[in-house]
Amino acid sequence: MDTFKSLLLIIISSALVNNIILSQFQGLCPFLGVSKKTDTAVGMGVAVIFVITLSSFVTSLIYRFILKPNGLDYLKTIAFILIIAALVQFVEMFLKKNIPTLYQALGVFLPLITTNCAVLGAALTNVESGYGILQSVFNGLGTAVGFTIAIVLLSSIRESIEDNDIPRNFKGSPIVLITSGLMAIAFMGFSGMIS
């Protein structure tokens, strides 16, 4: 029961309390770029869930069984980047073949998952926190769910304020950044959940 409780705390902590976007400010490029439409944001969120969860598993295995035992800890960043790039290519090929409309909607932002610091940040957080393989997978899943929650919330807000009477100086990026800041403040309320 303690294992289940600790895994649940890892997911809640990484999704809400330490949200990768709104608390750690990683992954802002797709957050701001893909959040114009909810459908696209959901698609990006699902792709990120798959990539971060799988990369957390694979990077944890490689770190635990190859890098650390052989004293190659210093290569973790390079190895993790290569693993993430390969996984993103796999997702891109899958979407291009099976869901071409989502592939076209995501456009340039799909390859940007490779350079999305949220993916690399989750893998490095797993190593730095000393998580085992199962804990790494759950932290990756929670991180990706937090990313998806943030991007879908922002896209919903952006769609609903699109037709509002916004002062000319605040239209476009300024209102999006203000909205993101208010979301970050709101997510600070989750910090008291886990102690």
Q: What is the DSSP secondary-structure string of 126-160?
A: HHHTT--HHHHHHHHHHHHHHHHHHHHHHHHHHHH
Q: Does residue 23 sit in helix, strand or coil?
A: coil
Model's pTM, two decimal places?
Answer: 0.87
Confidence of residue 1 (pLDDT cuts 50, 70, 90): low
CA dihedral 138, 144, 146, 149 (to 10 degrees): -130
Q: Does residue 115 carry a pLDDT above 70?
A: no
Distance CA 110, CA 150 (A): 17
The upper half-sphere exposure of residue 99, i.e. CA atoms within 13 Å in the direction of its Cβ, equals 16
Confidence of residue 173 (pLDDT cuts 50, 70, 90): confident
Distance CA 55, CA 195 (A): 28
Q: Using one digit for the tens of pLDDT, what is the confidence trace for 123-156?
A: 999 999 999 999 999 999 999 999 999 999 999 9
Q: Does residue 40 carry a pLDDT above 90?
A: no
Q: Does residue 22 sit in helix, strand or coil?
A: coil
Average pLDDT over residues 75-81: 93
